[in-house]
Amino acid sequence: MKRESSRLSFFENIHNQFFQTFVGPGGDRWQQFLVGLGVSFRVLLGALVLGVALGIIVAIIRTQKDQQRGNRKKPILSVLNAICLVYTTVIRGTPMMVQLLIMGFVVFSASRHLILVAILSLGINSGAYVSEIIRSGIMSIDPGQMEAGRSLGMNYGTVMKDIIIPQAIKNILPALGNEMITLFKDTSLVTVIGLADLTKVAMQVQARTYQAFMPFIGIAVVYLVIVLCMTWVFGRLERRMRRSDRR
């Protein structure tokens, strides 16, 4: 009898915690989690677009510098390459949370658009890593393909767009997928600047209910499910690209 009563009390406790966390007195607490998840996705998409754009620009500048030959050095390219090198070194050498704190409380301390601050912070951070991924993919392509394209009368941009970049993307897709997954998990850090993302909502619910187990375990499950879905999607894309190469 004691064992049965203890089991009942355990399940009743879990049920009560679940109700307090996801239903609440007004019956709409789950909607707060959905809104927070929507904020996390908005930050992810904005930061992803910014990060990829920055990454492509930085990768092309650094690759062009690496491919320069002896007497054909361009001063402007050297300056741009130095700026890109400082950017990637500083961003990759400092913690993401510190960058968020600097952007939120120093650079944009007067801004009320926290979601834009979060997108800028995560996008700038992601751009440094994406640039190295893209650069490694471009450098893995045989240099003879660039020379062949130029000998056919194509300019540098056309060769990169039509020949080099498509091949590089196939090589770097797994690394880009991992970067996107990391970026999604990093959205949980935007709570430090006060943005009401999924993690922030869980912290607010925990503060109201004094229950830490269900809110944090709940969002951990949500993050895990989304990451598994993203991993599956990138796995399918990679397999399709391999099949197209075999054909």
Domain 36-246, second-level architecture: Orthogonal Bundle (1.10)
Confidence band for 16, pLDDT divided at 50, 70 and 90: confident
| Rounded Cα gap, residues 224 and 229, in angstroms | 9
Q: Which of 175, 188, 178 is nearest to 223 (CA)?
A: 188
Confidence band for 7, pLDDT divided at 50, 70 and 90: low
Tokens of 84: 């890109």
CA angle 138–184–52, rounded 5-degree value: 30
Full-model pTM = 0.85
Tokens of 54: 């920055």
Query: For the segment 190-225, what is each residue's pLDDT rounded down to a tens digit?
Result: 999 999 899 999 999 888 888 888 889 999 999 999
Chain-centroid distance of CA 193 in Å reads: 18
Query: For the segment 81-120, what is each residue's pLDDT rounded down to a tens digit?
Result: 999 999 999 999 999 999 999 999 999 988 889 999 999 9
Does the pLDDT value for residue 121 go beyond 60? Answer: yes
Query: For the segment 32-91, what is each residue's pLDDT rounded down to a tens digit?
Result: 889 999 999 999 999 999 999 999 999 988 988 877 765 566 788 889 999 999 999 999
What average pLDDT is seen over the chain? 86
- The predicted structure's pLDDT at residue 70: 55
- The predicted structure's pLDDT at residue 222: 94
